[in-house]
């Protein structure tokens, strides 16, 4: 997994540096853990990147001091789902976890934001993608 400033990640993405489906490229894109086929990671990067770009416009996200990483999750009751996380470059501590569509059966595909504001004790937002965007003010 690559830990580069978010502003650099955005430039790399826009220049197509994360388009290749190979393992190394997708790890450079920020994939850390997955349960899906590694061949599907490039498609997931392409699907999640516009969401990253949108949230990155938030005043809650620091483009110079944070990085993005991706995780594909496998809940015990539900289907595989993806999230992306913004973390501090110096400490590696995740600041926000954004779930565009939860795979947990009980959550029925809802979007969620988890964060440091409440020590990840409960979602800061649960609802639609629009609710997530509203939380981030973008």
pLDDT digits (tens, 9 = 90+) for 21-67: 999 999 999 988 877 777 789 999 999 999 999 999 999 999 999 99
Q: Mean per-residue pLDDT for 75-88?
A: 91
Q: Are 70 and 48 in contact, with CB atoms under 8 Å apart?
A: yes
Task: For residues 9 and 137, give the distance between their C-alpha atoms in angstroms, rounded to a whole number.
Answer: 21
Name the pTM for this structure.
0.92
Q: What is the pLDDT of residues 104-135, one digit of tens each?
A: 877 788 999 999 999 999 999 999 999 999 99
pLDDT at 84: 98
């Amino acid at each position: 997994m690559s830990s580069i400033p978010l502003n650099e990640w955005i430039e790399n993405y826009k220049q197509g540096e994360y388009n290749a489906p190979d393992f190394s490229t997708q790890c450079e894109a920020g994939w850390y853990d997955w349960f899906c086929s590694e061949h599907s990671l490039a498609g997931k990067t392409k699907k999640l990147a516009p969401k990253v770009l949108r949230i990155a416009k938030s005043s809650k996200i620091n483009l110079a001091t944070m990085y993005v990483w991706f995780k594909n999750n496998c809940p015990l009751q539900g289907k595989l789902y993806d999230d992306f996380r913004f973390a501090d470059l110096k400490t590696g501590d995740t600041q926000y976890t954004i779930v565009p569509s939860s795979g947990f059966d009980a959550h029925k595909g809802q979007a969620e934001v988890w964060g440091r504001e409440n020590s990840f004790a409960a979602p800061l937002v649960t609802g639609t993608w629009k609710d997530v965007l509203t939380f981030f003010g973008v």
